Amino acid sequence: DSPDMLPTLVAEHSGYFSKEGLETRPVVFRSGVQLMQSVIGGDAQIGICSAPEPIQAVGAGAKIKVPWGNSNLMPFAVVSRPEIRTIQDLKGRKIAISSAGSLTDFLTRHVLKNKGLEPSQVSLLSIGGVSTRFAALMSGGVDASLISAAYFPRARESKLNLLLMLSEVIPEWPLSVICVRE
């Protein structure tokens, strides 16, 4: 769902890692929170995630490092059902996030506060990745969610509202960072 994973996927499928003597097995996690738990616990040696997860982990005492990051852009938008026209219209509504403490949770809370709403004025529902959130939005199970740029054309075709491009609020953002245990 994210173009920032393309270098890793190309390296894996082209055999680059094995040519360098590395045995790899890419694993997809439901959220950055689960990925961070796997890195902290030692089940994964390297993780590619968003900035909030390692920041929160270090704040909680985890011994991890972030040696590298890429993709300094913000490719997300707040998308809503057709009847919702502004961020303020989200008051009292259901907003889908991937999971508590995730990038979507962090960014949703930031956008709400930036636009004058407290997160306590909405219902944040942890329902999974962007495809699940998009399906929930389409079915009417939720009223809004953050979606990535890959879903913008589908959102427009489906007559959903792109309420806010997050780049308007956060113009630069380290979308992907590499996380490892100390």
- Most confident range (mean pLDDT) of 6-15, 157-166, 169-178 is 157-166
Q: H or E element: which one contains 94?
A: strand 94-97
Q: Find out whether 105 and 124 touch, Cβ atoms under 8 Å.
A: yes
Phi, psi of 121 (to 5 degrees): -85, 0
pLDDT at 73: 78
Give the model's confidence band at 103: pLDDT under 50 very low, under 70 low, under 90 confident, else very high. Answer: confident
Model pLDDT for residues 131-173, shown as the tens digit of each residue: 999 999 999 999 999 998 889 999 999 999 999 999 999 988 8
CB of 102 closer than 8 Å to CB of 31: yes
Sheet holding 64-72, edge to edge: 46-49, 174-181, 64-72
Report yes or no: 126 and 100 within 8 Å, Cβ to Cβ. yes
With bands split at pLDDT 50, 70 and 90, how would you rate the model's confidence at 2? low
pLDDT at 69: 82
Cβ count near 62 (within 10 Å): 18
Give the whole-angstrom CA distance, residue 27 versus residue 6. Answer: 14
Q: Terminus-to-terminus CA distance in the chain, angstroms?
A: 29
pLDDT digits (tens, 9 = 90+) for 44-74: 999 988 888 898 899 999 999 999 887 777 8
**pLDDT score at 95:** 98
Rounded to 5 degrees, φ, ψ at 44 are -115, 135
Please give the Cα distance from 53 to 15 (Å, whole number).
29
Q: Partners of 178 in the beta sheet?
A: 48, 68
Q: What is the pLDDT of residue 14?
A: 95
Strands 144-148 and 94-97, by their bridges, are parallel
